[in-house]
Amino acid sequence: MSKSPANNNTLIVSLLDDAYSCRVNNLQRSIQLSNKALLLSREAGDDSLIGRSLNQLALFHMILGEYAFSIKFAEDAIACFEKLGDEKGVADAKYSIAGAYYKTDNYHLGLIYLVDCLKTYRKVNDSFNQSRVHKSMGTIYEYFGDQKNAIKAYETAIDTAIAAGDKNLESNAYNPLSGIYLKQGRIDEALDIIERSIVIKNQTGDIRGLGFALYGRGKVFIRQKRFDEAKRDFKRAIEIHLEAGEKLGLGMAYHKLAALYVTIGALDKARETTRKAIELSTLYNIVIIKFKCDYLLYEIYKQENNTPKALEYLELYLTEKEAVINTQTLKAIENYELINRMEALEKEAETQREKAEIIEKQERAEQSARVKQEFLSTMSHEIRTPLNAVITITKLLKERADDEDQELLESLKFASNNLLLLINDILDFTKLDTGKVQLELRPCKFIPLLENIKRTYENLAREKGLKISLKTGAGIADNYQVDETKLSQILGNLIGNAIKYTDHGEVDITIEKTSGDQYIDILRFKITDTGIGIPESYFDQMFDSFSQPKSITTRKQGGSGLGLAIVKKLVELHGGEVKFSSKVGKGSEFYFELQLKKSDVPVTTPAKRSTELKDKTVLLAEDNMINAMVARKLLSNWGIITEHAKDGIEAVAKSKLKPFDFILMDIHMPEMNGYDATMQIRKDDSPNTHTPIFALTADITAEHVDEYIDYFNGFLRKPIEIDKLYEALTSV
């Protein structure tokens, strides 16, 4: 019975994992397992597993020094991964090709492939492979004689190996770093880190890696003239590399052992060992080992006073070295810019990461703003719509109620207005927080405005037995350009807070002119109370949203906790800054300065509600039947004849039948919303194409939908502000 595709794939992955694990002590076994995985992958027709199998074979043959095989397997792997669009797979194959090139002294080609690999590994945040690439690049830097960059590359390889949690990779970078320290005369440091590498290799069982580490320690022992210990390490390294089939490591160990024999005068052993190194390097094209061995033979024959032979090998050494250096250095110079670009690439990668983080944060902020806007729209509509009915009905009933009912209606009015203030706090703060608020400056009689604001809070102060006073300084103009609503909101929140937190004494409102000219005055507004004061520990949180000092807030003081946050934002909208001083048990003082432009006397038109709108016709589009009834009653008080449409579709249909003097359009309606209905009326060739249309909505975000704003003559709020509705209708 054949295996299922899923089981077959699991087997292939297991073979590849086992092959990679045993590479450190049985490379031939790794190749056998990878070949089996490749065969099964091809039978399954799985390009991803074929590519991975080829990649591992490329790596293992590169380690063995079979570079032509390694490059062929890697190129086949690249073809698979490019077809799949797998950048990481392509990078893995290029790493094997890079190793094959620089180990045969094609450093310039190795460098090009390594730079390509590093870009991809950084992109996918692969610390393991970044470590391998940095170690290989360190080898190339060493060849160029650039010890500074070599050390940096090896140290980066160590850091990325630690980040990947791979002890073997970490120790792999210790080996060449120890060699550089040795060249710099830092012998104790060189020995310390190579010993550290050997400990790790013994712990992890990486026999092949242990061979390189022992070779590194042998070099240190030579410098310390500990020749017997050095010889023992080199011989053990040779045994390991012969068993593992590691050709480069074997050549390096033969060469150093031969150099040791030359140092101690064992010339026959030196010649024999050098010949082995030359045979190996010639067979596997390890050029750098070959010409170093020619130099050793020159030294051997020189010590034996065999001048002709010595000169022969010296000339051979110089010729081969010059050929390698000329060929490689010229090519390397062409690509040396790649080396110098590595720091730039690192900075660029960091910049790209930071840029990606900024974009992600911006997208999150934009998404948050959209969610907030949608919530604001829904909340304002759903809560303010029923409040519209409650408040408007209360106003209508008060006009004809007897004294007994007036008291009940006044309580209802107070409760509903209080609820509306809380809701408005939340909605206003959200609008301010999203930058959706602008100043609407109009000529205003300034002192009467201040007196009205004070009068609004007199009853509240009187109920608590407090005295409230308004003091205006000299030089204040009669009229300024003011956004009355927002200034009233700023002062109202500060006065309301002062009354809320004061049980005995007074609340003073003081406005003084601090400077000015014939066009502009700078006024300081100050609200002072004799209340319980604010603890100093709470100062930093004073203007935070939904914040109230728990130690002084009681149930009777309540509130949304948004008042001061709104004050701060509204004062900033005016270009000012709100400040305060306070002492517990003594009271508080809040103050700010505004720059106000002087204006002419505002023009006011006396209301003529009894006759001015009599017999006018209105099309009222409103899906809430209670609100429709309330609006019709209000409009009928002004003599207006109202026709009702229950949704946008009906409003559009009725607009085609006859002309109206006005259209009042709700925004949130079933079937067709007020935006689309208004747009349709404007675009249709109907009797109401040019009729004034006002949005009458509980959605405070409605006027910020830019694509529809030009279709409306204005936006009016629910709960209905009767004066503003009357003013809007009479103005057209």
**Whether the predicted pLDDT of 642 surpasses 90:** yes
**Whether the predicted pLDDT of 253 surpasses 50:** yes
User: Do residue 13 and residue 72 come from a single domain?
Assistant: yes
User: Do residue 535 and residue 508 come from a single domain?
Assistant: yes
**Whether the predicted pLDDT of 271 surpasses 50:** yes
pLDDT band, very low/low/confident/very high, at 324 (cuts 50, 70, 90): low
DSSP string, 109-166: HHHHHHHHHHHHHHHTT-HHHHHHHHHHHHHHHHHTT-HHHHHHHHHHHHHHHHHHT-
DSSP string, 191-237: HHHHHHHHHHHHHHT-HHHHHHHHHHHHHHHHHTT-HHHHHHHHHHH
User: Do residue 641 and residue 718 come from a single domain?
Assistant: yes
> Does some domain include residue 349?
no
User: Do residue 401 and residue 478 come from a single domain?
Assistant: no
pLDDT band, very low/low/confident/very high, at 416 (cuts 50, 70, 90): low
Mean pLDDT of the chain: 82
- Predicted confidence at residue 425, as pLDDT, reads 59
- Predicted confidence at residue 607, as pLDDT, reads 45
> Does some domain include residue 74?
yes
- Predicted confidence at residue 566, as pLDDT, reads 80
pLDDT band, very low/low/confident/very high, at 266 (cuts 50, 70, 90): very high
User: Do residue 163 and residue 274 come from a single domain?
Assistant: no
> Does some domain include residue 387?
no
pLDDT band, very low/low/confident/very high, at 654 (cuts 50, 70, 90): very high
User: Do residue 179 and residue 300 come from a single domain?
Assistant: no
User: Cα–Cα distances in Å, from 723 out to 231, 237, 499, 615, 729?
Assistant: 104, 98, 28, 19, 10
User: Do residue 446 and residue 578 come from a single domain?
Assistant: yes
**Whether the predicted pLDDT of 553 surpasses 60:** no
> Does some domain include residue 233?
no
**3-class DSSP state of 548:** coil
User: Do residue 501 and residue 580 come from a single domain?
Assistant: yes
Better pLDDT: 507 or 394:
507
What proportions of the chain, in percent to the nearest 5, are helix, strand and coil? Answer: 65, 10, 25
What whole-number distance in Å separates Cα of residue 183 and Cα of residue 250?
A: 21
Q: Using N-to-C axis directions, what is the helix angle for 5-21 and 47-64, rounded to 10°?
A: 20
Backbone torsions φ then ψ of 439, nearest 5 degrees? -75, 140
CATH classification of the domain holding 217: 1.25.40.10
**3-class DSSP state of 684:** coil
- Determine the structural domain holding residue 674 and report its residue range: 617-731
**Whether the predicted pLDDT of 317 surpasses 70:** yes
The end-to-end CA distance of the chain, in Å, is: 88
Q: What is the separation of C-alpha 699 from the centre of its chain, rounded to a whole number of angstroms?
A: 32
- Predicted confidence at residue 102, as pLDDT, reads 78
User: Cα–Cα distances in Å, from 641 out to 64, 359, 363, 556, 634?
Assistant: 98, 55, 50, 46, 11
pLDDT band, very low/low/confident/very high, at 620 (cuts 50, 70, 90): very high
Closest CA to 327 of 97, 140, 107, 67: 107
- Predicted confidence at residue 260, as pLDDT, reads 94
pLDDT band, very low/low/confident/very high, at 554 (cuts 50, 70, 90): very low
**Which of 333, 349, 379 corresponds to the end of one domain?**
333
> Does some domain include residue 97?
yes
**Whether the predicted pLDDT of 341 surpasses 70:** no
**Whether the predicted pLDDT of 325 surpasses 60:** no
Is the full-model pTM beyond 0.85? no
**Which of 295, 312, 333 corresponds to the end of one domain?**
333
Query: Tokens 């509130």 correspond to what residue?
Result: 559
pLDDT, tens only, 435-494: 666 778 888 899 988 988 888 788 778 888 999 999 999 999 999 999 887 888 889 889
Average pLDDT over residues 121-139: 90
- Predicted confidence at residue 226, as pLDDT, reads 94
> Does some domain include residue 48?
yes
What's the one-letter identity of residue 687?
Answer: P
**Whether the predicted pLDDT of 532 surpasses 70:** yes
User: Do residue 487 and residue 542 come from a single domain?
Assistant: yes
CA angle 453, 459, 465 (to 5 degrees): 120
Most confidently modeled range among 322-326, 347-351, 662-666: 662-666
User: Do residue 459 and residue 552 come from a single domain?
Assistant: yes
- Predicted confidence at residue 270, as pLDDT, reads 92
Average pLDDT over residues 193-221: 92
pLDDT, tens only, 71-120: 899 899 999 999 999 999 999 999 988 888 877 767 777 888 888 888 89
- Predicted confidence at residue 259, as pLDDT, reads 93
pLDDT, tens only, 238-252: 999 998 888 888 999
CATH classification of the domain holding 501: 3.30.565.10
> Does some domain include residue 359?
no
User: Do residue 534 and residue 668 come from a single domain?
Assistant: no
Query: Tokens 């004494």 correspond to what residue?
Result: 505
**Which of 104, 125, 146 corresponds to the end of one domain?**
125
> Does some domain include residue 312?
yes
Average pLDDT over residues 333-347: 49
- The domain total for the chain is 6
pLDDT band, very low/low/confident/very high, at 334 (cuts 50, 70, 90): very low
pLDDT band, very low/low/confident/very high, at 355 (cuts 50, 70, 90): low
User: Do residue 453 and residue 530 come from a single domain?
Assistant: yes
Q: Using N-to-C axis directions, what is the helix angle for 127-143 and 87-103, rounded to 10°?
A: 30
Better pLDDT: 132 or 63:
132
pLDDT band, very low/low/confident/very high, at 569 (cuts 50, 70, 90): confident
Structure tokens at 590: 């809040």
